[in-house]
C-alpha cells in the first residue's frame, strides 16, 4: 500500500472532533510537507544543476511538466507562472496533463496509457528537453509512461513523488522523494503531499530561473509588463 494511502490511527474519529481540533490537526500535518522538502534539498539542488546544463546547451530545449490530478495541476500552476514572472518563452514550455479540463476531476484518465503516448507525441519532446514528472503515488500509469518514453529518447527526466515504492524511482535521472507519509485524510494527496510538491516546484523553478539570469539584484528583470501593477513594478525596478 502507498504511504499516502495508509490511515493514521490517531485520526480514526476525526469526524467527531470540533472544528478547532480539525484545523489544528491539518496545520500540524502541513509541517511534514516542509520537513520532507528540507530532507530532499540535495536532490532538488542536483535537479537544478542538471536542468540548467540542458537548458543552457540547447537554445530550443523545453521544460515539460507531466502529471495527473492534483500533481498535474501543481505542475501546470508552477510552469505557467514562468512566462509572466521570468519571461520564459512560451514555445519552450509544455504540459502533459491527463485531464482535459483543469476545473473538472479526471481521475479515470490517470490510467490511460494511450492518452499518455498521444500527449507525449503532441508535445514533441526531444532529447534536449527537461521533463518534470510529478505523482504522489509514483505509480500513475499516465505519468510513468511519459517518463519512460522521455528517458528512452535521452531527455532529462526529473521525478517528484511521495511513495518510496514508486515506479518513477526506478526510471528517472533525478529522483526527488518527498517523505510525507500518511495523510490527515487517508489518500487525500491534495493535502500534505500536494503542499510538499508545490514547495519543491517553487524551489526548483525559482532557483533554475535565477541561474538562467532571469534575476538581477533581487529583481525579476525579464518579467512581462502586462498590467498596471506590473508596469509600476517595472518602473520601480528601473528607478531603483
Question: Per-residue DSSP letters for 53-68?
Answer: HHHHH-TT--EEEEE-
Give me the catalytic one of 3, 15, 16, 81. Answer: 81
Alpha carbons within 13 angstroms on the beta-carbon side of residue 186 total 12
d(CA 171, CA 135): 13
Strand ranges across the sheet with 174-177:
93-97, 63-67, 130-135, 156-161, 174-177
d(CA 65, CA 74): 9
d(CA 232, CA 223): 12
Beta bridge partners of 135: 161
Three-state DSSP class for 191? coil
Q: Return the closest-CA partner of residue 59 out of 112, 120, 126, 114.
A: 126
Active site residue 81: yes
Q: Return the closest-CA partner of residue 181 out of 6, 27, 30, 1.
A: 6
Three-state DSSP class for 75? helix
Active site residue 110: yes
Give me the catalytic one of 3, 15, 107, 110. Answer: 110
d(CA 74, CA 197): 7
Among all residues, which ones are annotated catalytic? 81, 110
Amino acid at each position: 500500500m502507498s504511504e499516502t494511502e495508509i490511515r493514521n490511527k490517531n485520526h480514526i474519529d476525526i469526524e467527531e472532533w470540533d472544528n478547532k481540533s480539525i484545523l489544528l490537526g491539518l496545520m500540524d500535518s502541513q509541517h511534514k510537507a516542509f520537513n520532507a522538502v528540507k530532507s530532499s534539498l540535495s536532490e532538488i539542488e542536483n535537479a537544478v544543476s542538471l536542468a540548467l546544463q540542458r537548458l543552457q546547451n540547447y537554445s530550443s530545449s523545453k521544460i515539460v511538466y507531466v502529471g495527473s490530478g492534483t500533481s498535474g495541476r501543481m505542475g501546470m500552476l508552477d510552469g505557467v507562472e514562468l512566462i509572466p514572472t521570468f519571461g520564459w518563452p512560451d514555445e519552450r514550455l509544455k504540459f502533459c496533463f491527463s485531464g482535459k479540463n483543469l476545473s473538472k476531476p479526471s481521475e479515470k484518465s490517470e490510467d490511460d496509457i494511450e492518452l499518455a503516448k498521444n500527449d507525449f507525441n503532441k508535445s514533441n519532446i526531444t532529447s534536449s528537453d527537461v521533463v518534470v514528472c510529478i505523482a504522489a503515488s509514483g505509480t500513475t500509469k499516465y505519468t510513468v509512461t511519459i517518463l519512460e518514453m522521455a528517458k528512452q529518447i535521452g531527455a532529462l527526466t526529473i521525478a517528484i513523488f511521495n511513495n518510496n515504492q514508486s515506479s518513477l524511482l526506478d526510471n528517472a535521472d533525478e529522483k526527488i522523494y518527498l517523505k510525507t507519509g500518511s495523510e490527515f485524510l487517508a489518500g487525500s494527496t491534495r493535502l500534505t503531499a500536494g503542499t510538499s510538491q508545490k514547495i519543491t516546484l517553487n524551489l526548483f523553478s525559482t532557483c533554475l530561473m535565477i541561474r538562467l539570469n532571469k534575476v538581477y539584484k533581487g529583481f525579476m528583470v525579464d518579467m512581462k509588463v502586462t498590467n498596471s501593477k506590473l508596469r509600476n513594478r517595472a518602473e520601480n525596478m528601473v528607478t531603483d
